């Protein structure tokens, strides 16, 4: 009898009843099965069932222990302001008052909201959340509130429903919460979300505000009218009797309004196709709620400096016209002949009005030259007297224009409103530098006083950050304050372009507030990202005072690792890699804080390496591996999770296997391995099914990268056929999968994958290696070879597929193919990981260091403070200047130049390079403390090595090419002229291995090496 257990679509296990009661306790059992023959019987066509492997003998089956249901899943009712189809953006304010007659001890509030929330208790701000989530798995946050005294109390929650395409898989706008504690030492559930909560759907946030990215990668811009938001709504004294009661949201339609972008890449049939699809999910299963698995994010205050200040478009007034009006006539008087002008924007995604007339005569718009992208101007000489500007067929999304006011008297107030696109006016307005504000800096905050309008200020945080600006503002009611974020300054100016117009028409990172006359603290519900801020204060009838600080929201890690060498440039390169991680480690490893914030696994792969040598955290990786596994469909990988539908990149799936194997090696997490093993089995079967039947190598169709492999930004030529980089990664993936199988005791499967890897290595070299040219073909597509590239050399070298007697030739080919000029690089910052890996693994340390200094030193010379998406990103507004995948030099400097690496839960190795620099000191974090290493000297010279490691660890010290030298360990000779002098010291592949225990160790290497 066969039972298929479906554990909420997450981890699926095939359970065979053998009469062994031990199975019910979660003990591993085995039974003979013919997996491939039974595949259809076992439901491999059912998405909710797990993976199997082809076996001819025994297979391991894993049964999880049954746990008591979490009360959050049982005792909370999802609530909202209504129970009908939601708009694309809603903000709701919730309040729940309660009275305690006795103290509530150990009060604990658990809470979840879709899409995000902010929480107050008794008027004090408590926190925000939740962590990103998938459709099926929601993690609730827990807030210990201590002891609540007798009396009246309040829970207040602001919830923003703002589904997006990257961070979380929003389902329905809901709030769920439960408050527990102890009274008289007895545990009680005091209250939970239900229809007794008061709620107001707030209209202070403009529901029609344009998104930050038109593909809805992030969410809406936040355009807020503070006059419609009670200042004290979250306090106990606020009267909420006019508010409605909450509606139970159980029956809300499951709603995911995803707009999937089209890529500028042709498919096989020559037409542009989306890599995904618009999705209207119909799955109505209730999500599973579990406690938050990662620590809450922290806010770190960042330094802010004033770059420039001045007036916006002096002698002119900005006009904001609503799309609700079809036409507008603006009458004015002039007392002398003048050249009257009107300015507008013209570019991608910007619609001009159908008619622009002055005194019933058409005006002609022409581009403005210089430093004002997308600005067009119409001008005409007019006589003194009355005139009328006529604007007809106003676009439905409104119109922003600028009219001359110098020597002009308009008969009616010039229409200016917040509108739904604050970015347009910041692009249109001309910034003229002038001293318009008094400035005071307190610690990292900056205080600005404005009394001339419209005014602006440009602020710099020194690098791209992911977080929020907090503005304490005092100003008259009706004043509009805009704040935009950007990663760069427009060339030859001090001006950021948070809405860059046609330079990147999909992007607009500008938020806006209308003041209500009260002293307010302004910030955004969602985060923003950038290095520069553009602050604009529009017309006000009294001075405006703003105190501004910037808080970076990031994962709570502390830098423990360091790298301090004799080369200052390398030290800086190492640290910039760490700085790149801060905005890219939030509730997931993200690609970039600026454009997407998605957990793309190629980025995660590199970021995790750097995390290991800088921070030493594994929790974020574990959560990412889990969410990626949940997203795999029948083994078909998704390249990012959540929100990976349609991006099925085999190389990102293979890197998931690599990360999983490394996580298990370094953490010994067997329960986690058992959970994810079915997904691994399915994925390996998926890869097997796309092999070429003749060669056994992966063979991809000519399709877009989202449906094949990515490899690198510039690797368009490797994505079809029997790709060398993809198949090199595949062979390594088989070895990693074999390691995982062995870890779980599945020796049959481990042997199978190991044998396949060995066979495919031979097939790989037979098909793709060009003996006479000492290089590899890029691919073979439909029988036709594709010319060798840097990618087809670096990946086989990195994955050790090149025979030892041929590696020097392939390295030489790689060096010959690499561009010497970073400005014209033929590989991206992502692919450079595998180039460095190829160099370092084959002992070309000095060459790798020179390459690193050339490419990354060039980026620093161009102003980089975090690593870019590509080496030419600074030239393209659509490209990120803070991309996690560019941070790999930090990993390689610590691992190969310093030579320190964790190899197990409590084991490490130190293999100093004695190359690339004259001396270096550094450390990497281990679970039990720091592994600190320093060395001095060069290869084939006298050298010293110092190591300090945690007591509970053991290490392997590896000294290369010293057969003819002497090695002293803590003053005692252990190696002399090729002969060991101490038990345990061995020679393996020309390397001397010295096993050591935790503690302090000092080595001296003297004499000659074999190279002399």
Residue 30 has pLDDT above 50, yes or no: no
Q: Which of 642, 521, 525 is nearest to 159 (CA)?
A: 525
Domains of the chain: 2-61 (no CATH), 72-279+286-291 (2.60.120.260), 297-313+430-554 (2.60.120.260), 315-420 (2.60.120.260), 908-1007 (2.60.420.10)
DSSP of 60-99: EE--PPP-PPPHHHHH---EES-SS---SSEEEEEEEEEE
CA distance 872 to 557: 30
Residue 836 pLDDT class (50, 70, 90 cuts) = very high
CA distance 538 to 482: 8
DSSP of 502-536: GGSTTB--EEEEE--SS-EEE--SS-EEEEEEEEE
Residue 962 has pLDDT above 90, yes or no: no
> What are the pLDDT digits (tens) for 780-798?
999 999 999 999 999 999 9
pLDDT at 495: 97
Lowest-pLDDT range of 25-34, 368-377, 412-421: 25-34
DSSP of 692-712: -TTT-SB-B-S--GGGS--S-
pLDDT at 961: 82
In the chain, what percentage of residues exceed pLDDT 90?
Answer: 84
> What are the pLDDT digits (tens) for 161-171?
999 999 999 99
CA distance 790 to 855: 15
Show Cβ contacts of residue 608 under 8 Å, excluding neighbours closer than 6 positions: 589, 621, 659, 662
pLDDT at 3: 28
Instruction: Count the alpha carbons within 13 Å of 721 in the hemisphere toward its beta carbon.
Output: 20
Give the phi and the psi of residue 228 in degrees, each rounded to 5: -105, 10
pLDDT at 947: 99
- Identify any residues that bridge with 967 across adjacent strands, giving them in sequence order: 975, 1005
Q: Which two tokens stand for residue 853?
A: 């200094």
Residue 63 pLDDT class (50, 70, 90 cuts) = very low
pLDDT at 680: 99
Residue 514 pLDDT class (50, 70, 90 cuts) = very high
pLDDT at 348: 82
pLDDT at 941: 80
CA distance 134 to 9: 12
Residue 25 has pLDDT above 70, yes or no: no
> What are the pLDDT digits (tens) for 591-635?
999 999 999 999 999 999 999 999 999 999 999 999 999 999 999
Residue 645 pLDDT class (50, 70, 90 cuts) = confident
Residue 23 pLDDT class (50, 70, 90 cuts) = very low
Taking residues 47-70, report their average pLDDT: 40
> What are the pLDDT digits (tens) for 526-555?
999 999 999 999 999 999 999 999 999 999
Residue 276 has pLDDT above 60, yes or no: no
DSSP of 810-853: HHHHHHHHS-S-GGG-SS-TTTHHHHHHHHHHTT-HHHHHHHHH
Residue 498 has pLDDT above 80, yes or no: yes
Looking at per-residue pLDDT, the higher value among 455 and 59 belongs to 455
Q: How far is CA 237 from CA 147, 179, 408, 433, 824, in A?
A: 21, 21, 50, 46, 64
Taking residues 436-446, report their average pLDDT: 72
Taking residues 328-335, report their average pLDDT: 97
Looking at per-residue pLDDT, the higher value among 28 and 346 belongs to 346
- Identify any residues that bridge with 455 across adjacent strands, giving them in sequence order: 311, 537
Q: Which of 852, 823, 801, 221 is nearest to 506 (CA)?
A: 221
Residues 762 and 703: beta-carbon distance below 8 Å: no
Average model confidence (pLDDT) across the chain: 90
Residues 522 and 473: beta-carbon distance below 8 Å: yes
Show Cβ contacts of residue 890 under 8 Å, excluding neighbours closer than 6 positions: 563, 573, 574, 575, 577, 578, 610, 613, 614
At 686 the three-state DSSP class reads helix
Q: Which of 537, 655, 673 is nearest to 599 (CA)?
A: 655
Taking residues 666-694, report their average pLDDT: 98
Residue 287 pLDDT class (50, 70, 90 cuts) = confident
Residue 868 has pLDDT above 50, yes or no: yes
Lowest-pLDDT range of 11-15, 107-111, 753-757: 11-15
Chain centroid offset of residue 599 CA: 5
Taking residues 793-820, report their average pLDDT: 98
pTM of the model: 0.91
Taking residues 446-473, report their average pLDDT: 97
Residue 349 has pLDDT above 90, yes or no: no
pLDDT at 1008: 65
> What are the pLDDT digits (tens) for 95-131?
999 999 999 999 999 999 999 999 999 999 999 999 9
CA distance 802 to 795: 10
Q: How far is CA 744 from CA 11, 289, 302, 411, 747, in A?
A: 16, 28, 45, 82, 8
Q: Which of 535, 532, 492 is nearest to 370 (CA)?
A: 492
pLDDT at 286: 79
Q: Which of 471, 625, 583, 451 is nearest to 881 (CA)?
A: 583
pLDDT at 952: 94
Show Cβ contacts of residue 133 under 8 Å, excluding neighbours closer than 6 positions: 114, 139, 168, 169, 287, 642
Taking residues 764-768, report their average pLDDT: 98
Residue 277 pLDDT class (50, 70, 90 cuts) = very low
Residue 59 has pLDDT above 50, yes or no: no
Residue in the structure block whose two tokens are 């001090």: 494
> What are the pLDDT digits (tens) for 124-160?
999 999 999 999 899 999 999 999 999 999 999 999 9
């Amino acid at each position: 009898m066969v039972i298929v257990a479906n554990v909420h679509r997450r981890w699926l296990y095939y359970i065979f009843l053998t009469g062994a009661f031990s199975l019910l306790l979660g003990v591993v059992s085995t039974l003979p099965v013919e997996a491939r023959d039974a595949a259809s019987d076992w439901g491999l066509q059912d998405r909710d069932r797990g993976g199997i492997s082809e076996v001819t003998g025994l297979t391991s089956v894993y049964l999880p222990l049954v746990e008591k249901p979490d009360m959050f899943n049982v005792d909370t009712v999802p609530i909202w302001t209504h129970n009908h189809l939601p708009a694309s953006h809603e903000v709701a304010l919730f309040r729940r008052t309660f009275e305690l007659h006795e103290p509530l001890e150990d009060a604990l509030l658990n809470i979840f909201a879709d899409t995000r929330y902010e929480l107050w208790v008794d008027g004090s701000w408590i926190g925000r959340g939740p962590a990103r989530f998938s459709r099926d798995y929601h993690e609730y946050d827990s807030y210990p509130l201590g002891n609540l005294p007798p009396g009246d109390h309040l829970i207040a929650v602001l919830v923003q429903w703002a589904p997006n395409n990257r961070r979380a898989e929003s389902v329905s706008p809901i709030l769920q919460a439960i408050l527990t504690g102890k009274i008289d030492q007895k545990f009680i559930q005091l209250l939970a979300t239900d229809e007794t909560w008061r709620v107001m759907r707030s209209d202070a946030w403009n529901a029609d505000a344009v998104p930050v990215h038109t593909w809805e990668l992030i969410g809406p811009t936040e355009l807020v009218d503070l006059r419609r938001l009670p200042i004290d709504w979250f306090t106990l004294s606020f009267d909420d009797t006019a508010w409605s009661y909450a509606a139970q949201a159980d029956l809300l339609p499951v709603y995911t309004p995803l707009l999937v972008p089209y890529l500028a890449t042709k498919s096989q049939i020559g037409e542009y196709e989306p890599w995904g699809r618009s999705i209207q999910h119909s799955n109505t299963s209730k999500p599973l709620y579990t406690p938050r698995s990662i620590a809450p994010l922290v806010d770190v205050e960042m330094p802010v400096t004033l770059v420039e200040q001045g007036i916006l478009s002096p002698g002119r007034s900005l006009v904001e016209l609503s799309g609700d009006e079809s036409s507008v006539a603006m009458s004015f008087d002039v007392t002398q002949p003048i050249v009257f002008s009107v300015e507008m924007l013209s570019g991608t995604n910007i619609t001009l009005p159908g008619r622009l007339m002055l005194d019933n005569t058409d005006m002609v718009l022409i581009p403005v030259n210089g430093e004002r992208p997308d600005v067009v101007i119409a001008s005409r000489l007019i006589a003194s007297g009355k005139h009328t500007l006529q604007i007809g067929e106003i676009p439905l999304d409104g119109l922003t224009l600028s009219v001359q006011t110098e020597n002009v008297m308009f008969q009616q107030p010039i229409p200016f409103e917040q509108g739904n696109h604050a970015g347009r006016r910041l692009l249109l307005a001309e910034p003229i530098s002038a001293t318009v504000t008094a400035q005071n800096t307190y610690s990292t905050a900056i205080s600005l006083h404005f009394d001339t309008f419209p005014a602006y200020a440009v602020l710099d945080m020194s690098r791209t950050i992911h977080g929020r600006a907090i503005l304490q503002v005092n100003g008259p009611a009706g004043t509009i304050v805009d704040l935009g974020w950007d990663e760069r300054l427009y060339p030859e100016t001090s001006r950021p372009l948070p809405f860059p117009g046609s330079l990147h028409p999909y992007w607009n990172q500008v938020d806006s507030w209308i003041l209500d006359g009260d002293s307010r603290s302004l910030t955004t519900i969602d985060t923003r990202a950038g290095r520069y801020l553009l602050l604009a204060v529009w017309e006000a009838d009294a001075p405006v005072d703003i105190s501004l600080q910037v808080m970076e929201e990031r994962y709570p890690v502390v830098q423990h690792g360091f790298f301090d060498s004799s080369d200052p440039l390398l030290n800086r390169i190492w640290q910039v890699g760490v700085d790149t991680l801060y905005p890219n480690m939030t509730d997931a490893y993200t690609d970039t804080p600026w454009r997407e914030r998605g957990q793309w696994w190629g980025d995660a792969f590199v970021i995790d390496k750097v995390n290991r040598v800088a921070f030493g955290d594994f929790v974020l990786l574990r959560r990412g591996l889990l969410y990626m596994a949940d997203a795999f469909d029948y083994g078909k990988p998704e390249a990012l999770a959540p929100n990976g539908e349609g991006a099925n990149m085999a190389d990102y799936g293979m890197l998931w296997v690599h990360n999983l194997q490394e996580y298990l090696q370094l953490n010994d997490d067997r329960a986690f391995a058992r959970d994810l093993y079915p997904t691994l089995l399915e994925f390996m079967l998926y890869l097997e099914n796309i092999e070429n039947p003749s060669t056994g190598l992966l063979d991809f169709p000519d399709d877009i990268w989202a449906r094949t492999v990515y490899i690198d930004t510039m690797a368009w030529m490797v994505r079809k056929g029997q790709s060398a980089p993809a198949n090199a990664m595949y062979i390594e993936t088989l070895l990693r999968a074999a390691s995982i199988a062995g870890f779980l005791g599945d020796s049959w499967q481990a042997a199978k994958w190991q044998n396949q890897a060995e066979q495919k290595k031979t097939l790989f070299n037979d098909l793709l290696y060009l003996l006479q040219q000492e290089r590899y073909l890029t691919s073979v597509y439909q029988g036709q070879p594709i010319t060798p590239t840097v990618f087809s050399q670096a990946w086989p070298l990195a994955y050790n597929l090149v025979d030892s007697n041929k590696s020097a030739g392939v390295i030489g080919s790689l060096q010959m193919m690499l561009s010497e000029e970073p400005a014209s690089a033929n590989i991206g910052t992502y692919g450079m990981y595998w180039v460095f890996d190829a160099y370092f693994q084959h002992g070309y340390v000095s060459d790798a260091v020179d390459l690193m200094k050339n490419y990354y030193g060039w980026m620093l010379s161009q102003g980089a403070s975090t690593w870019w998406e590509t080496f030419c990103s600074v030239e393209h507004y659509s490209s990120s200047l803070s991309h996690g995948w560019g941070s790999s030099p930090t990993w390689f400097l610590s691992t190969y130049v310093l030579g320190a690496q964790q190899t197990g839960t409590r084991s490490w190795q130190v293999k100093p390079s004695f190359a690339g620099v004259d001396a270096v000191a550094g450390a990497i974090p281990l679970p039990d403390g720091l592994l600190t290493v320093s060395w001095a000297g060069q290869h084939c010279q006298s050298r010293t090595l110092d190591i300090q490691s945690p007591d509970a660890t053991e290490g392997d010290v590896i000294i290369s090419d010293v057969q003819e030298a002497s090695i002293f360990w803590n003053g005692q000779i252990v190696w002399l002229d090729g002969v060991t002098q101490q038990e345990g010291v061995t020679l393996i592949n020309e390397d001397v291995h010295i096993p050591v225990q935790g503690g302090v160790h000092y080595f001296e290497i003297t004499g000659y090496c074999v190279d002399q």
